[in-house]
Structure 1
């Protein structure tokens, strides 16, 4: 309140005695921070609690993991899909993604990679933390406008973590506007062979391939050797593409979804994936899954994702060097997708879950719709389909060539 009064007073004084044309009022955000030492002490196992904002989902054996965006991971016992049961909440500040192999859970915590032993679900323990392995993390930008400037002058990335923002209006000389403050943009610096590996949704940024964990951020790929499951070893960080959103592995290749298209990398050398090609499309939020010679990607337009229409694209990837668009289908508000045998499941946001037959990828047939629900991402398991949307887990059963609702679990 006092800051607002000061600004008004300053304006009144300057309007009488100065040429205000040389100045302007701008919105400025300053980060709230805590030390990395204090941030890391918050990681712990807690009793189950309601979810705040459901993010990524992951399935392993009879467990379902749901990320509570930037807060931690909810662990759910799904041994009876008709009646899931909450087990515990892993408080992991700054968490967005996860992956599991042979009883070890790998999760990001802002700039760190955290490892949990989940072999005993009644006593999940943190066993390792690799510090400062991620260059970029979600700064929790809550800005509605790209015009907001960010004052990072007192922020020390070596010792501090950003946990929120304070906002104020400042009067600055126009000539200093671009020199003093950073903009929003410039402030940002499926199952494989080789063990019992879980399955993530199509919005995942973590993928385990045999003895390696691959993660992607805004522009980079991080590679970890997890041959020693409890003590992973950081290998390197490579530039991987522009505005990366998702990561999917199939048949020894990594498919990276970005707002601009899809990148394909080979894994002949697992510690140094090699760039093969890129398929470019208009700007839009873009998860991708791959089955055989075809990649399926949804492109969501509108809002921050782009100004184009929302579609499902089918890409022929039989020749990895020249991926080719072969079919396009209109959607309303798509998010994640997945497949099981000849079924392609597409989460179409507020338009619900749509089931296509993909016997002929060039001529997909819509065979079933589940409406009046919010569909965000799916994991097709052997006997059931797990879907998340609007803080609810839906499970569907495959039976007699139809998909039927098995259970609804409010998180």
Structure 2
């Protein structure tokens, strides 16, 4: 068990300074954490009938199924055998969940500090078969972007976990504040047909016999050679403010608010740092195709104050990545590549289709303006996108896509 003082220091996120000399007040959005004891938390996993989604998170596909995360609550499983008419199957309630990965009918999910394993070989009879406790030393509890202040109660982080947030408007004395991500750490989609596919916002990646998971500053690495009995291989520091992870050609590409980190997997149990590409502060998913990485930077809110852009990074020499080109966007989130097309989710500005005349020379050929786009998964025969609690599926066309279905998750 770690000393309480160390654990508490990891969650001292809000630093207040430069109080104003006057008594003026502001009405601000305050986030208060929802707390559950670890004892109850670890008993809370349940398999339920289909549920409506209040706030959809990430998407993942495996076989004929689409998995949609409910932020901090669990995973919705949808039968996509007929893409024109997706059907909900069940809901796995997992408090503190954000990411999943699947291999050979075994589903791995984070649950705040823990890793939970499910057997999904019988999709209507999902079973929890394993739980590894305290393997994520700094779990990602996702402070809501709308929050201007985080009101921490007296929390015992040895015995309690944060499983959600309540937002409310409060009148508070004016002050300057900044949210600091954890600067403390503990040094402790490859092409496989039996592994599922996540979007560009994923923090989990399976490569051969290893599951790689990233938090804000650290990577937890699991040996999954025995799929039903994963073993924590190591936890290592990998960078700062990590948000996403993408696997390609035996490398991991970590997107952070300040840049992209490249790690070599020549020793699978201990990824080796190669280099980093630094940019201004911004929320940053990344995808890779061959010698080029494509990343979006979203400005505003907690992501930064700079403009929003799409950057093309030359990674032929992985020890010295360099900016090759930059394109202006409005409000970008996830992105994906299929053949010579780059699909970019530009938030409220819609889904944008860029033709890659060359890996660097991109032409905007189509914008779907009637959708709110958050993330995409380009599959072999269709494009799956999520946004505004709706799953959109499209058929590929020349310089375009055609809608197959729009499935509301509400």
What's the TM-score once normalised by structure 1's chain length? 0.86
- Equivalence for 1:157: 157
Contact 1:54/1:391 (<8 A) preserved: yes
Contact 1:223/1:235 (<8 A) preserved: yes
Cα drift, residue 139 of structure 1 = 3.5
Cα drift, residue 161 of structure 1 = 1.5
**Distance in 1 (alpha carbons) for counterparts of 2:312 and 2:72:** 33
Distance 1:143 1:25, change over 3 A: farther
- CA shift digits 1:251-293 (9 cap, x unpaired): 0000000000100000010000000000000000000000000
Moved more, 236-245 or 140-149: 140-149
- Equivalence for 1:119: 121
Uncovered stretches (5+) of structure 1, i.e. residues with no partner: 1-20, 172-181
Contact 1:380/1:386 (<8 A) preserved: yes
**Distance in 1 (alpha carbons) for counterparts of 2:54 and 2:201:** 19
- Equivalence for 1:282: 280
Structure with bigger gyration radius: 1
**Distance in 2 (alpha carbons) for counterparts of 1:387 and 1:409:** 11
Q: Which structure features the higher share of helix residues?
A: 1
Structure 2 counterpart of 1:215, from 213, 216, 226: 213
Cα drift, residue 185 of structure 1 = 3.0
Say whether 1:49 aligns with 2:64. no
Contact 1:148/1:183 (<8 A) preserved: no
- Equivalence for 1:397: 395
Contact 2:216/2:243 (<8 A) preserved: yes
Contact 2:336/2:342 (<8 A) preserved: yes
Contact 2:145/2:301 (<8 A) preserved: no
**Distance in 2 (alpha carbons) for counterparts of 1:63 and 1:186:** 35
**Distance in 2 (alpha carbons) for counterparts of 1:34 and 1:300:** 33
- CA shift digits 1:29-77 (9 cap, x unpaired): 8755332111111101100011111101000110000000001000000
Cα drift, residue 357 of structure 1 = 1.1
**Distance in 1 (alpha carbons) for counterparts of 2:259 and 2:182:** 23
**Distance in 1 (alpha carbons) for counterparts of 2:298 and 2:107:** 30
Uncovered stretches (5+) of structure 2, i.e. residues with no partner: 1-20
Q: Secondary structure at the match of 1:361?
A: coil
Q: Secondary structure at the match of 1:304?
A: helix
- CA shift digits 1:102-151 (9 cap, x unpaired): 10110001111011111111101111111111112244535866665645
Cα drift, residue 399 of structure 1 = 3.5
**Distance in 1 (alpha carbons) for counterparts of 2:347 and 2:181:** 30
Q: Secondary structure at the match of 2:348?
A: coil
Distance 1:35 1:327, change over 3 A: same
Contact 2:308/2:332 (<8 A) preserved: yes
- Equivalence for 1:406: 404
Contact 2:182/2:217 (<8 A) preserved: no
**Distance in 1 (alpha carbons) for counterparts of 2:294 and 2:181:** 32
1:310-329 correspondence runs (5 A):
310-329=308-327
Moved over 6 A (4+): 23-30, 165-169
Q: Secondary structure at the match of 1:70?
A: coil
**Distance in 1 (alpha carbons) for counterparts of 2:151 and 2:74:** 29
Contact 2:183/2:217 (<8 A) preserved: no
RMSD between aligned residues = 2.8
What's the TM-score once normalised by structure 2's chain length? 0.86
Structure 1 counterpart of 2:200, from 199, 202, 214: 202
Contact 1:216/1:222 (<8 A) preserved: yes
Contact 2:138/2:215 (<8 A) preserved: yes
